[in-house]
């Protein structure tokens, strides 16, 4: 995995992990399977992921304690980034002062066909496309599944040429 420098001196790998999906349904409450959430967090370190993104609104106040439980004491090279400003008023509800707009990948026909030609999933191609960007882009996909985490991480080994990226960009 290539690296990204935060703040001029903090190096992390260019694929992070987002913790929104380790909470309950609609990003509300605790996860259905506590042990699976802990396993996903521990698997991030095994896969070399050293940037974990979280927020106090995930749950709310669920993902951060799970991180502490799973990874304490955490390795010195682990970066845990958190954010605030969003308020949760119920399952699936975000307060007006910060309602997030979740990034949605453009799952075009071109992307799916390209993924099949490289024996990859569309998600892996989408992540590889982001990783092919200049190193100021750091994708942080989230999942509640250790298997899906491994699949996402495999995108780091998918090399796209400049022509591949241009073709995917044009189709998006």
pLDDT tens-digit profile of 44-75? 999 999 999 988 788 888 998 899 999 988 89
Provide the pLDDT for residue 85: 63
Domains annotated on the chain, with CATH: 3-84+103-171 (3.20.20.100)
19-32 residue pLDDT tens: 999 999 999 999 99
**Higher confidence at residue 101 or residue 7?**
7
Q: Which member of 13, 58, 129, 168 is catalytic?
A: 58
Reported pTM: 0.76
Backbone angles phi, psi at 17, to 5 degrees: -135, 130
d(CA 140, CA 19): 9
Pair of tokens at residue 108: 């075009």
d(CA 83, CA 52): 12
Indicate if 17 belongs to the active site. no
Residue 160 DSSP label: -
130-165 residue pLDDT tens: 898 887 788 999 999 999 999 999 999 988 899 988
Query: How many C-beta atoms surround the C-beta of residue 151 within 10 A?
Result: 17
């Amino acid at each position: 995995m290539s690296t990204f420098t935060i703040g001029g001196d903090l190096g992390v790998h260019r694929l992070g992990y987002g913790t929104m999906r380790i909470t309950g349904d609609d990003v509300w409450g605790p996860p259905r399977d506590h042990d699976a959430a802990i396993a996903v967090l521990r698997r991030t370190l095994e896969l070399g992921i050293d940037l974990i993104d979280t927020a106090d609104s995930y749950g709310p106040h669920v993902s951060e304690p799970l991180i502490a439980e799973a990874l304490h004491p955490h390795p010195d090279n682990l970066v845990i980034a958190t954010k605030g400003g969003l308020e949760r008023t119920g399952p699936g509800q975000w307060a007006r002062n910060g309602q997030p707009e979740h990034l949605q990948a453009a799952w075009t026909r071109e992307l799916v066909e390209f993924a099949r030609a490289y024996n990859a999933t569309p998600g892996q191609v989408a992540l590889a496309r982001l990783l092919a960007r200049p190193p100021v882009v750091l994708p942080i996909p989230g999942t509640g599944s250790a298997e899906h985490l491994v699949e996402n991480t495999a995108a780091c080994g998918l090399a796209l040429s400049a022509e591949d990226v241009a073709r995917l960009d044009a189709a998006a």
